Structures are given as structure tokens and as C-alpha cells.
Chain A
Amino acid sequence: MIPRLLYVPASIGLALLVLPLAGLLLKVDWPGLPALLLSPEALQPLGLSLATASISTVLCLLLGVPLAVVIARSTSRVAGLLRALVTVPLVLPPLVGGIALLSLLGRGGALGNTLELAGLRIPFTTTAVVIAQTFVALPFLVIAVEGALRTAGVRYERVAATLGAHRGTVFARITLPLVGPGLLAGTVLSFARALGEFGATALFAGNQAGVTRTMPLAIYTAFNGSGVTTDQAVALSLLLIAVAVIILVLVGTRRASVLS
């Protein structure tokens, strides 16, 4: 039923997505790979990335799910406004996000000065990495969960209420399970986005080894490193791809077991 002509752009599109990754695999220095991956230059950013992306994802869940509920259950006018506000960081170049975070929380910033007086300095710390990642990842979670909530509607919640279930019970036992697939998809998207976050982190958190140098920053550093070959950058990229694939596979099998 598909017009044959569509196969041409479809194939080109697929090639555009797959061929660069294949090209990357061809560039990998396979014999030297174990040494490159087990070096502190690789393991340290990996550990930092996994830790910060995990914390950011938890923050996204804690803040994003309630926000999604509020949007989904608001009147259409309020919901439209809130949704627009949530979407702005999504369409913003991450670099701009970094500047915005710096403007608020940095030295001389509206909130930064107050924090400084309290003895807190956020920019160029691991905390800044987490904030930057949460800033860029949160919209993904909110939009995925909000969509799932709207699709589920309030009918089940109303029935649960007429059975005598209080709001907390309804939320925990009916609403959350109903949006389970959307919640899972949103969580995976947020984690992936946090893991790959570069622009906002670079500006707001900097590139200090062991403190703010996450995987993407390590790749950039290795690639631009004076005199260093690109082998390290390629190896780190491969590692990041591997982590992404492992997460997708884990989520995929879990999803399958939930559905069966």
C-alpha cells in the first residue's frame, strides 16, 4: 500500500542515521580499545556521567510527574500556558540554556548573589552539572507523562473516587500504573538526554576533570586535545553508544515482561 517512490527518501533517511555510526565503528582502534576504555581518562567521565544523569533523572521524576499532573488536570487555557513554558527549554539551544542558568545562578546573577552570601557557589561544580542536565531533560519527562495522563483521562479516577478511594490512593494505585508506559518512555528519554547533555554543562559547569567533565565533555576534550589522536574520542563515543544501547535493551525487555 506504500507508494514505491517513498522508499527512496526512506532509505536515504535511514542511511543518514545508521552510516555515521557504522563509520565510527570503522574508525575504532580495536586492538588498542581495552587500554583506552580502562584508562582513568575514560572511566572517570563515565562514572561522573552515570552518577549525574541518574540523579538528574530522579529529580526529573520527582519534579516532572507532579508538574505533568498539574498540567494535565488544568483547564485548557492554563494547561496551554504551562505547556508552552515547559516546552521553551526543549526548543532552546542548550548553549542558551547554559547562559540562562549562569545568568540566574552565576556570580552577579539574580539568585547567584544571594546564594553567594549564604556561602553557596553553584557554577562550575558537580551540582551545576546536575542542574544543567535536569534543565534540559525535564521537558522530555513532563511532555511524555502529560500526554499519557491526557490519554488515560479522568474516567478511571472518577470511578475510583466513587468506590471510596482517597486522592492519594487513586494517584498511587490507579493514575501512576495507568501512565506506566508513558512514565517509562519519559524516564528513558530524560536519562538519555541528561547523559548526552553538553552545551549547557559546558557553559554553566565548565570542564574540570573529575568534577564537571562528563562523557560528552571528555569526548570534546579528547577530540580537540593538542597532539592527542582522535582514538580516545572515538573510544569514548563507542562507550556512550554502548550505554545507550544497553539501556534501551533493558527497558525493552522490561516493557515486554510488563505487557505479557
Chain B
Amino acid sequence: MTPALWKSAANALLEANLQLTRGSFTLDVQLSLEPGEVLALLGPNGSGKSTVLDLIAGLAAPDRGTVTIDGAVLTAPGRFVAPERRAIGLLGQEPLLFPHLSARNNIAFALRVGEAQLTSAQARTQADHWLDRVGLAGFGESKPGALSGGQQQRVALARALAAGPRVLLLDEPMAALDAETAPFMRQLIREQLAETGTSAIIVTHDIVDAVVLADRVAVLHDGALIDEGTTAAVLAAPRNPFVAALAGVNLVVGSVQNGAVAAPDGRIFHVRPADAAALAPTSSGTTASASALVLAGSDQNVPAAAVFRPASVVVQTEQPRRASPRNVWSARVTGIEPGSGGVRLRTSGDPEVIAELTPAAVADLGLQLGSTVWLSVKATEVSAYRR
């Protein structure tokens, strides 16, 4: 148990204190969610992430523990509110659209039975608005079987939000999508959560989900929360091997400046053109088409993150000549550690950047703690995300 990690916020929207034992697996988790907040629950497979969501949604009961939302007790000893009375939505890996209903009627179903309780005519009209919001206007008549996996997941998102949940639980919603569709879905979720002001918990083992979607990160391992804090803070100081592996990337959380990402200390990271896309504003109410994703020069100071692998960082002792289109800066060596792919070189800055190089290279360059080095990363090696 790690009570210290449990932020018992006075204005918490959702508070969960869950204990469950199944065979050799024990779950013991305390977490809270503030209104409008998005929490990423990170953890390896089998760590109990999906179980936590089931227990919060009321699809399973803990051995011991409580779940409260807005002060109302949903789960407690002797009390168990059925899932249909919790107003807690769930969007999983699979869209699970009702196969016998059209896209419109899938959403209309949520509008009729959910918080809104609309009549069927109102529900159909509203459902069309929702289809429009997820970029599927004109697909109302389509049966789920006629839609692609990505389109189905967009309908499923609309359906989950249309029900008006007080908290939306997202269980790896991008995991079943291909690499081209996933970023689009991620942006759509970010946009729609923000527009509807929906509080959410997203279970994932993709660092990008945490960076893009979440305000806060909690790390689950073997049924217990082992770390909790802002995404940048948790990843900057990994407290277990899983987080370290997850954080095996350099993460620069900053803001957009002239089409690049500016770090808190002012360093500018140019990113690969294709990913400048993700930095672009996506106008609300419409879905981002490919062209709308191109970075607009006027789009300044919005939160963004740049991500690149330590192996992409080139270390030199002299200032490189032909710099463009590289990111080049100088820093001091603050740490030399063994890493999975050789030696990990920690360098000064906010955030610190880790470079990975062979032991031979470290020796050749004569690197020591405190050495001044020149670091460079090709822009094409840096991916970027709006936050």
C-alpha cells in the first residue's frame, strides 16, 4: 500500500479505494480524479489496469473498498450501485457497436437511455450532430459492419460521450487501430474530452497517450500504484523498470513556437514535417482532415511535446558545422550510466536529454562527468504531439 500517493483532493470528482484478490493476483489501489481531469493509468500487461476500470464502472465488485463520485457512494461494504445507474462510461479496445443498429441508432440508443433521456426523434437529430463531431456526417445509415475499424471506434467514442458520463473510462482505445488511424483517434479523443469537459481515466501502455491526453499519470505494477504525478515528472525520474522502459525516450514537454517545440529552458526542437501535423490546431466541431493538420505559423504557445530516442542523439566534443536541419545545442554531462543499448549519457538542461552511445565512443570522446558536449538530433528523428 502506498497511501502517500493517494491525493485525497477536497474537490475530487471520483475517489476509488479498491482491494481485490484473485488467485495469486492482489490488487490494492487508491486513486482520485478531479473534475475535468484526465488521468493516465500506465502499466504492463497483467498489472490490473482493466480490472481497476471494471471495478470503477461497476462491472465487477471489489473484495473490499469504496468508489464515490461527487460524494455519492457507488461501491462500499453492503452497497453496490449497478453500472447502468453510475453514469460512468467505458470505451475499450474494440468499438462493440451494436451490430444490428446503424451508426446513428447506436448513438441514439445512448441518448435515449443515458442522462439525456431524449425522445427517439430528438435522439436521432442529436445523434447526427455527434456523427458530425467525430467527422462521420453522412454515415448515419451505415451498419457497423460497413464501417472501418477506425470509423467504428469514432462512433463508439461519440456513443460513449453522448450518454453524458460523469467519468469516461478509456481502456486502450487506440490499441486495436493501425498506426495511421491511431494518432487521428488520439487527437479526436483529446479534442472531444476537452470540448465536453469530460473527466476521464485512460488505461494505456503507450507513453504517447499519456503525453497527449493526460494531465496526470499513475503507474500500476502488480496490482499496486508505484508512482503518480505529472507525465513529465513521472517519466523524468523512472521509479521502476517498466517506467524506465516506457521512458526510454527523451520527452520535451513545452509549447509550440514557429512550428517547433520550445522546451522550458528555451531550447527549440525542430520536428519532422509529417509530425508538425500533430501540432496543428484542429478546429472544434470538425474533424481534422489531413490538410488541416499542417502546422499553422500563427499557432503559438499551445502545449506540445517532442519525443525522440536516446540513440538518435549524436554526441560530439566540438560544435558541428553543417547544422541544419538538425537541432544542435551544448550541454554538460551530468551522468554516465549503463543502459540497455550501451552507455546512457545524461546531459544538463530542462528537461535533461539522454543520449545513448557505445562504450567505445564514450572512451574515444574522453567523456567524463562535467564535460561540455555538443548534442544534435535530426529533425526527422523527432516526433511531436499537441497536448
11 contacts between A and B (CB under 8 A): A159-B90, A161-B84, A162-B59, A162-B83, A162-B165, A163-B110, A163-B114, A163-B163, A165-B109, A166-B113, A180-B100
The list of the 7 closest CB pairs from A to B, nearest first, reads A165-B113, A164-B114, A161-B83, A162-B90, A163-B163, A177-B100, A163-B110
Chain B residues with a Cβ under 8 A of chain A: 57, 59, 82-90, 94, 96, 98-100, 109-110, 113-115, 159-160, 163, 165
Chain B residue with Cβ nearest A154: B59
Q: Would B100 and A164 count as touching, CB distance under 8 A?
A: no
Are the C-beta atoms of A156 and B98 separated by less than 8 Å? Answer: yes
Cβ–Cβ < 8 Å partners of A166 in chain B:
84, 113
Smallest CB–CB gap between B23 and chain A, Å? 17
Residues of B contacting A169 in the complex (Cβ-Cβ under 8 angstroms): 113
In the complex, chain A residues 148-202 whose Cβ is within 8 Å of any chain B Cβ: 155-156, 158-167, 169-170, 173-174, 177-178, 180
- Compute how far the CA of A174 lies from the CA of B106 in the bound complex, rounded to whole angstroms: 11
CA distance A253 to B89 in the complex (A): 39
Q: Are B113 and A164 in contact (CB under 8 A)?
A: yes
Query: Could you tell me if A162 and B109 are in contact, using CB atoms closer than 8 angstroms?
Result: no
Chain B residues, Cβ within 8 Å of A167: 84
Most B Cβ at <10 Å: residue of A158, A163, A170, A178: A163
Cross-chain contact B100 with A178 (CB below 8 angstroms)? yes
CB-CB < 8 A to B113: which residues of A?
160, 163-166, 169
Q: Give complex CA distance A161, B165 in Å.
A: 12
Q: Are B98 and A162 in contact (CB under 8 A)?
A: no
- A35 to chain B minimum Cβ distance, whole angstroms, is 49
Q: Which residues of A contact B115 (CB under 8 A)?
A: 164
Instruction: Specify which of B84, B89, B99, B100 is in contact with A165 (CB 8 Å cutoff).
Output: B84
A48 to chain B, nearest CB (A): 37
A167 to B88, CA, bound (A): 16
Q: Decide: B89 and A161 in contact? CB cutoff 8 A.
A: no
Q: Residues of B contacting A159 with CB < 8 Å?
A: 90, 96
Shortest B143–chain A CB gap in Å is 11
In the complex, which residue of chain A has the Cβ closest to the Cβ of B169?
A162
Q: Which residues of A contact B94 (CB under 8 A)?
A: 155
In Å, the complex CA distance between A224 and B113 comes to 62
0/1 string, A201-223, CB within 8 A of B gives 1: 00000000000000000000000
Question: Are A164 and B96 in contact, with the CB atoms below 8 A?
Answer: no
- Of chain B, the residue at the smallest CB distance from A169 is B113
Please indicate the chain A residues that have their CB under 8 angstroms from the CB of B100 in the complex.
177-178, 180
Chain A residues near B83 (CB, 8 Å)? 158, 161-162
Q: CB distance B163 to A164 under 8 Å?
A: yes
How close is B172's CB to chain A, nearest CB, in angstroms? 15
Q: Is the CB of B84 within 8 A of A174?
A: no
Contact between A164 and B99, CB atoms less than 8 A apart: no
Chain A, residue nearest B83 (CB): A161
The distance in angstroms between the C-alpha atoms of A156 and B113, with both chains bound, is 15
Measured between beta carbons, the chain B residues less than 8 angstroms from A156 are 96, 98
Q: Tell me which residues across on chain A come within 8 A of B88, comparing CB atoms.
A: 162
* With A167-B84, A169-B113 as contacts: A162 and B99 at CB distance below 8 Å: no
In the bound complex, CA of A173 to CA of B159 (Å): 16
CB distance from A2 to the nearest CB of B (A): 31
Query: What chain B residues lie within 8 Å of A155 (beta carbons)?
Result: 94, 96
CA of A173 to CA of B84, assembled, Å: 15
In Å, the complex CA distance between A163 and B110 comes to 6
Residue of B nearest to A158 (CB): B59
Extra A-B contacts (7), CB below 8 Å, given A156-B96, A164-B114, A164-B115? A162-B88, A162-B89, A162-B163, A163-B89, A163-B160, A170-B84, A178-B98
- Docked CA distance A156–B83 (Å): 13
Set of chain B residues within 8 Å of A161, measured between Cβ atoms: 59, 82-84
Bound-state CA distance A51–B86 (Å) is: 48
In the complex, what's the smallest C-beta–C-beta distance from A146 to chain B, in angstroms? Answer: 19
- CB of A166, distance to nearest CB on chain B (Å): 5
A167–B165 alpha-carbon span in the complex (Å): 18
